[in-house]
């Protein structure tokens, strides 16, 4: 069985050259996508801006930054992520995150944090607004009609008209519909509430099983239409056990050789997951081992094959995103 392969990038570095080097390494190995971690209370660069910075330097790899819906306006999220899809030529995604941390709430000063169920309810509304804004321009809205002086056909722009508990957004977007139509929306399903949210709002879900049996159990609870990736924190090499030390993670932690990691991935493939997201313990040593040692081993075993798809949606096997306003007539 062939699996898709992704890598999680998490660093506080403000060195653009370092970020470019990490993402280029993943791009040259033809990994399917990389994720950029972020949170309000984390020291480091903004994930969406970092992804946009490295996008023109890459050709194949998908770019999936974390962006938090808590305290963030969905209109701003929609425009930033649509712009990322343009500069990457259809390789953008979005990993949705919520924040229940009072310290993070204090950074913005808007309000106290909500309870967990309400946070995910708000996140679902935010995703719905963002998706509507992405669709608010039909694909043929830009007409550039010189004789009449019209740049856009206003009948092909639509008000999103969302009026909910947490947001009231009229729209339309100020950015035309992204190249993918709908960039890929991802979520980390680390709680019952997150599992429900992923089933309602996401295209792709990251799970954190401890072994192949728990991976099967978690996947059985998810909508079959969701793309499911299992997370593994990895330390690769002769000194992997030493470097791992007492490291803990919400995901399974692996320490060993690239061949042993390939054995583990082969075993987990039997659970029916669509892919693996590797979390390197060190973005220099372990990422290099992933691209130089693990990827060739997985290809040799027929467990991974680079995709020729040009957009992230295509690469993940997601359907074409049909505009919800197709055929609508502006009032």
Residues in the chain: 331
40-44, 48-52, 289-293, 309-313: which has the minimum mean pLDDT?
A: 40-44
Q: List, in sequence order, every beta strand (DSSP E) within the chain.
A: 4-9, 33-36, 62-68, 93-97, 142-145, 150-152, 162-163, 168-169, 184-188, 204-207, 227-236, 252-256, 275-280
What pLDDT, in 10s, does the model give residues 184-239? 999 999 888 999 999 999 999 999 999 999 999 999 888 889 999 999 999 999 89
- The pLDDT score that the predictor gives to residue 247 is 82
What pLDDT, in 10s, does the model give residues 272-298? 999 999 999 999 999 999 999 999 999
CA-closest candidate to residue 289, choices 245, 255, 253, 265: 255
Distance CA 219, CA 183 (A): 23
DSSP assignment of 13-57: ---HHHHHHHHHHHHHTT-SEEEE---TTS-S--HHHHHHHHGGG
Of the chain, the percentage scoring pLDDT greater than 70 comes to 98
Structure token digits, residue 74: 């969905």
Strand partners, 184: 93
Residue 142 falls within a domain, yes or no?
yes
Helix ranges restricted to H, 95-169: 102-108, 116-135
Residue 120 falls within a domain, yes or no?
yes
Could you say which DSSP state residue 155 is in?
A: G
Residue 263 falls within a domain, yes or no?
no
Residue 283 falls within a domain, yes or no?
no
Distance CA 118, CA 131 (A): 20
- HSE-CB at 276 with a 13 A cutoff on CA atoms is 29
Residue 182 falls within a domain, yes or no?
yes
- The pLDDT score that the predictor gives to residue 299 is 97
Residue 240 falls within a domain, yes or no?
no
- The pLDDT-based confidence of 148 (bands split at 50, 70, 90) is confident
* CATH assignment at residue 156: 3.20.20.30
Average confidence score pLDDT of the chain: 93
Give the annotated binding-site residues for FMN.
191
Distance CA 255, CA 157 (A): 52
- HSE-CB at 119 with a 13 A cutoff on CA atoms is 22
Q: State the CB neighbour count (10 A cutoff) for residue 200.
A: 15
Residue 266 falls within a domain, yes or no?
no
Strand (E) or helix (H) holding 272: none
- The pLDDT score that the predictor gives to residue 328 is 60
Report whether pLDDT(56) > 90: yes
Report whether pLDDT(108) > 90: no
What pLDDT, in 10s, does the model give residues 224-263? 899 999 999 999 998 999 999 878 888 999 999 999 999 9
User: From residue 325, how far is each of 85, 136, 172, 221 by CA, in Å?
Assistant: 20, 7, 12, 31
Residue 82 falls within a domain, yes or no?
yes
Contacts of 69 (CB under 8 A, 6+ apart): 77, 96, 97, 98, 122, 123, 126, 127
Mean pLDDT of 42-60: 96
- The pLDDT-based confidence of 331 (bands split at 50, 70, 90) is very low
- The pLDDT-based confidence of 330 (bands split at 50, 70, 90) is very low
Mean pLDDT of 150-165: 89
What domain range includes position 189? 4-230+296-316
Number of domains in the chain: 1
More confident residue, 229 or 147: 229
């Amino acid at each position: 069985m062939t699996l898709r392969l992704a890598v999680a990038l998490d660093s506080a570095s403000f060195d653009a050259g370092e970020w470019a080097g990490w993402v280029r390494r993943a791009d040259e190995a033809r990994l399917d996508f990389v994720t950029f971690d972020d949170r309000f209370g984390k020291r480091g660069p903004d994930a969406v801006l970092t992804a946009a910075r490295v996008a023109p330097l890459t050709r194949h790899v998908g770019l999936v930054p974390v962006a938090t819906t808590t305290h963030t306006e969905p209109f701003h999220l929609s425009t930033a992520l649509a712009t990322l899809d343009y500069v990457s030529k259809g390789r953008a995604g979005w990993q949705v995150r919520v924040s229940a941390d009072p310290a993070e709430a204090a950074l913005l000063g808007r309000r106290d944090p909500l309870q967990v169920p309400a946070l995910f309810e708000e996140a679902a509304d935010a995703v719905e607004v963002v998706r509507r804004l992405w669709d608010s321009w039909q694909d043929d809205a830009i007409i550039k009609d010189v004789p009449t002086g019209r740049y856009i056909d206003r009948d092909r722009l639509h008000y999103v008209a969302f009026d909910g508990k947490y947001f009231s957004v009229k729209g339309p977007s100020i950015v035309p519909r992204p190249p993918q139509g709908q960039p890929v929306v991802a979520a980390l399903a680390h709680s019952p509430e997150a599992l429900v949210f992923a089933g309602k709002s996401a295209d792709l879900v990251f799970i954190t099983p401890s072994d192949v049996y728990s991976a099967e159990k978690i996947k059985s609870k998810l909508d079959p239409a969701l793309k499911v990736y299992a997370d593994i924190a990895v330390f690769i090499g002769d000194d992997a056990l030493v470097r791992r030390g007492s490291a803990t993670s919400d995901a399974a932690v692996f320490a060993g050789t690239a061949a042993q990691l390939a054995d583990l991935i082969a075993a987990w493939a039997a659970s029916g997951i669509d892919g693996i997201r590797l979390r390197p313990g060190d973005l220099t040593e372990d990422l290099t081992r992933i691209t130089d040692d693990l990827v060739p081993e997985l290809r040799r075993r027929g467990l991974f094959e680079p995709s020729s798809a040009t957009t992230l949606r295509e690469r993940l096997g997601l359907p074409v995103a049909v505009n919800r306003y197709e055929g609508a007539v502006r009032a």
